[in-house]
Amino acid sequence: MGNINITRVLLGGLLAGLVICFGEFILGWVILGGQWAEVMAEAGMGEIGGGQEAAFLIVAILYGIALIWIYAAIRPRFGPGPKTAVVAGLTLWVVAWLLVCAYVMVIGVFPAGLLIAAIVWGLFELPIAALAGAWLYQESDAA
């Protein structure tokens, strides 16, 4: 059993993070942009600015790195390949999308419909990101 290849986790994580960022852009700005703008205006918040967009990109990349680290960590048990990547994606989806959005929904911060859309979108987005990042991941040769 090889060690986790941190360089490949970072490379695969960067790719996975960019997939997540792209997916979030499509959902949050293209598909639901008008609804999010209304919610933000009703809450007395301004439009999203460049600093917030940069923060979203950084968080998406950190999610991608975490996602590929999960993939690398479970590979010895599940084996390398697409099935394991999907399991890693679904694992992060449960922890970072389903549970977080459910919590935010319960406390009523944002409309349930927008959060449900994010939950469902993430159910597809994260496994796709995991597949992309896992494609770049390889174990270290030193075992």
| 143 is a domain residue | no
Residue 110 DSSP class: S
Q: Which of 6, 36, 33 is nearest to 111 (CA)?
A: 36
| 125 is a domain residue | yes
Give the residue numbers spanning the domain of 56: 6-136
Q: With the CA atoms of 88, 133, 63 and 76 taken in that order, what torsion angle do they form, in degrees rounded to the nearest 10?
A: 40
- Give the residue carrying structure tokens 């694992």: 91
Determine the pLDDT at residue 2.
67
| 64 is a domain residue | yes
**70 near 90, Cβ under 8 Å?**
no
Residue 108 DSSP class: T
Determine the pLDDT at residue 41.
87
Q: Which of 73, 55, 65 is nearest to 96 (CA)?
A: 65
* Per-residue pLDDT tens over the stretch 80-102: 999 999 999 999 999 999 999 99
| 1 is a domain residue | no
Determine the pLDDT at residue 58.
97
| 63 is a domain residue | yes
| 75 is a domain residue | yes
Determine the pLDDT at residue 1.
55
In this prediction the pTM is 0.90
Q: Which residue numbers in the chain have pLDDT < 70?
A: 1-2, 140-143
Determine the pLDDT at residue 24.
95
Residue 1 DSSP class: -
Helices 33-42 and 112-136 cross at an angle (nearest 10°) of 130
The count of domains in the chain is 1
